[in-house]
Chain A
């Protein structure tokens, strides 16, 4: 799964993408658990960020929302356009 990082998330890791090698659907909770393990610097963003999947906000923003192996996922920190 490709994970896109923007704004604070990109700054915290000094990179704009991550790859999570999975073969079966995973929950948003599982995504954050993997991030906690592999990229703990992102954890402060967990409470305030939303998850996007294939260029749309994931409908189920609870930890139970499901992600497919071929999805392009994005971590969306609080936005501030305009």
Chain B
């Protein structure tokens, strides 16, 4: 599986720029996407944003490891992951993921499995919820 990982302090673009489908050469039948967005409340308290922190080289290694392990269970063709860090205002994206696969089931399974493991294994932290 081809893997593309980005960690950035910049705002994630919407829509996220994806490579063009390769026309007659296209072997992908599914593109599954997920965007994680900062909500306007945290624990019932209104907030204006979240502050994220990460251990960059290890976060990249862990994301790559998790995707490679998941791809053995759910063969997909390509995964693109972009996680933002620093201050992220409410309503903006913290993470974007795109998974290309021949069929939808593998794409959904890999995407879902990745998010579950990201939240328990990848060294990225919401360190502060900034109140309104």
Q: Do A and B come from one complex?
A: yes
**Residue contact B61 to A7, C-beta cutoff 8 Å:** no
Residues 16-34 of B contacting A (Cβ, < 8 Å): none
Distance in Å from the Cβ of A82 to the closest Cβ of chain B? Answer: 5
Confirm or deny: A21 has a beta carbon within 8 angstroms of a beta carbon on chain B.
Answer: no
Residues 44-66 of A contacting B (Cβ, < 8 Å): 52, 55-57
Given contact pairs A52-B123, A79-B123, A6 touches B53 in the complex (Cβ within 8 A): yes
Tell me whether B95 and A79 are in contact (CB under 8 A): no
> A80: shortest Cβ distance to chain B, in Å?
5
In contact, B58 and A82 (Cβ under 8 angstroms): no
Check if B95 sits within 8 Å of A6, measured CB to CB: no
By size class, the interface of chain B is: 20 to 34
**Bound complex: CA of A8 vs CA of B125, how far in Å?**
9
Chain A: interface size category: 10 to 19
Q: Tell me, yes or no, whether A11 is within 8 Å of chain B by CB.
A: yes
Give the A-B pair count, Cβ closer than 8 A.
Answer: 62
Let me know if A11 and B127 touch, CB within 8 A.
yes
Any chain A CB within 8 A of the CB of B130? no
Q: How far is the CB of B7 from chain A (nearest CB, A)?
A: 10
Given known A4-B55, A6-B53, A7-B125, contact A79–B61 (CB-CB < 8 A): no
B55 touches A76 (CB 8 A): yes
Measured CB to CB, the nearest residue on chain B to A56 is B61
Question: Which of A6, A55, A81 is packed against the most chain B CB atoms within 10 Å?
Answer: A81
Q: Is the CB of A81 within 8 A of B57?
A: no
List of A residues within 8 angstroms of B122 by Cβ: 79, 81
B53 in contact with A79 (CB, 8 Å): no
Kindly state the separation between the CA atoms of A48 and B95 in the bound complex, as whole angstroms.
25
Residue of B nearest to A74 (CB): B55
